[in-house]
């Protein structure tokens, strides 16, 4: 079927445009009247044999149907209503779950190429484990978003009890005030999940058979930890090669990133070392911020926290689906009141023991690169990593709309 997520319109008698926005719109030409009518039949109800029969009834030339279908597939405009493999078939059997995820499936169809890829990606999310460290206004909302997007297990960890200022729409509800913060956040995750996620106690031992985290998101409630993350808190993640993403709000600034690929991209240690190079008094300031008397309620604008949670969840899902989001080796920051997002690179530092600076000295991570040895066993399956841009046949081009 032609991807139903793409609106269709005719630019002239021989040129059809699929999609509306510049990021996804494609135009196809030349398309004659008979072929235009044939496109209406590509709605997921007919297989190749039946399409050929319909083409014969429409007096289309022999082989024309196959050529049209191949051309649309090469342009990334086709989906397969039955594709995606065994995991996708299992998801289709859970109609109520799939109905909850249909908007996400439609969105994935816009960023995948081969027919069936969108369903394959969505089904693959169900097998992933993601950790969220922090259950405040950012962390709890973020955990719910990931769970609602089909991630199979979202494990939230935090200490203390829910305070009135932890409450946020989509996050910790008012009735959770006084409850253990991690337990309240796990209830948010369970309510958001379209499926029934596994229950895990914080004291449950992690057996060798239990897979590791595909990603850990560090979303501290402490604004100092957001502004200058302590490399010591990520030592276990670095040692295990676990990808991790930082997110949070500090004063009136929201932060997403960096996404750290241990041994590959700049980490919290690189961030600290780079700041020290630019500002020699930086360590003195950090020591004062960390040891000073803590304010009971640090600033955290509700709408800014929601924006950070949403963007961090989007970056996390892009990574879990096999992409390389813009937060890889960079911090995205947005400040009140102007709210202009800007990226600040976090370059691998030669003095940091993570070793990223000496590994190829690359300036960027390739979009379609394979999974690296240091990530083995931690990230999403290499089978679902696809190129973002399909090869397009002659007569097909990006629409500048």
Lookup result for tokens 């190429």: 113
Q: What is the pTM for the complete model shown?
A: 0.85
Q: Which CATH class is domain 127-384?
A: alpha beta
Reading the block at residue 200, the tokens are 């895990």
The whole-number pLDDT of residue 399 equals 44
Lookup result for tokens 């049209």: 68
CA distance 291 to 273: 20
CA distance 201 to 268: 29
Q: What angle do CA 68, 70, 72 make, to 5 degrees?
A: 70
What are the average pLDDT values for consecutive 10-residue runs of the chain, which has 401 residues? 92 93 91 90 91 92 92 91 91 94 95 91 95 97 97 96 96 97 96 77 48 93 95 94 97 97 96 96 94 82 97 97 95 95 96 86 42 32 37 50 39
Length of the chain: 401
The whole-number pLDDT of residue 198 equals 53
- Beta partners for 12? 15
109 with 157: CB under 8 angstroms?
A: no
pLDDT in tens, 259-282: 999 999 999 999 999 999 999 999
CA distance 113 to 5: 13
Which candidate, 311, 258, 318, 307, places its Cα nearest to that of 125? 318
Domain ranges of the chain: 8-78, 86-123, 127-384
328 with 266: CB under 8 angstroms?
A: no
Count of other CB atoms within 10 angstroms of residue 149: 23
CA distance 244 to 216: 5
What's the Cα-to-Cα distance from 373 to each of 205, 248, 271, 377, 392, rounded to whole Å?
27, 30, 24, 9, 32
């Amino acid at each position: 079927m032609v991807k139903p997520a793409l609106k269709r319109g005719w630019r002239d008698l021989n040129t059809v445009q699929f999609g509306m926005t510049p990021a996804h719109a494609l135009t196809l030409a030349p398309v004659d009247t008979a072929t235009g009518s044939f496109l209406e039949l590509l709605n997921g109800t007919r297989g190749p044999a039946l399409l050929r029969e319909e083409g014969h009834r429409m007096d289309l030339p022999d082989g024309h149907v196959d050529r049209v279908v191949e051309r649309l597939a090469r342009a990334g405009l086709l989906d397969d209503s039955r594709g995606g493999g065994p995991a996708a078939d299992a998801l289709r059997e859970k109609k109520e779950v799939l109905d909850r995820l249909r908007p996400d499936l439609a969105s994935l169809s816009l960023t995948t190429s081969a027919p069936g890829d969108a369903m394959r990606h969505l089904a693959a999310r169900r097998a992933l484990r993601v950790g969220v460290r922090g259950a405040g206004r950012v962390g709890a909302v973020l955990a719910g978003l990931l769970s609602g997007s089909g991630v199979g297990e979202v494990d939230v960890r935090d200490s203390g009890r829910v305070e009135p200022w932890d409450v946020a729409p989509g996050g910790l509800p008012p009735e959770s005030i006084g409850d253990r913060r991690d337990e309240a956040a796990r209830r948010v995750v369970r309510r958001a999940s379209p499926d029934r996620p596994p229950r895990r106690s914080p004291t449950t031992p992690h057996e060798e058979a239990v897979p590791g985290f595909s990603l850990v998101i560090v979303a501290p409630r402490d604004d100092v930890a957001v502004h200058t993350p302590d490399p010591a808190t990520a030592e276990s993640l670095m040692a295990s090669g676990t990808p991790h993403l930082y997110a949070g709000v500090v004063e009136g600034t929201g932060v997403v990133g960096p996404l750290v690929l241990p041994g590959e991209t700049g980490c919290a240690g690189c961030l600290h070392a780079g700041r020290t190079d630019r500002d020699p008094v930086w360590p003195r300031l950090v020591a004062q911020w960390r040891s000073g008397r803590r304010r009971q309620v640090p600033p955290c604008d509700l709408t800014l926290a929601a924006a950070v949670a949403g963007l961090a969840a989007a970056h996390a899902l892009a990574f879990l689906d096999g992409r390389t989001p813009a937060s890889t080796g960079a911090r995205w920051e947005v400040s009140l009141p102007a709210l202009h997002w800007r990226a600040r690179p976090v370059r691998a530092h030669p003095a940091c023991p993570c070793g990223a600076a000496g590994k190829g000295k690359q300036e960027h991570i390739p979009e379609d690169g394979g999974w690296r040895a240091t990530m083995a066993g931690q990230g999403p399956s290499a089978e679902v990593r696809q190129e973002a841009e399909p090869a397009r046949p002659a007569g097909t081009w990006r629409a500048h709309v």
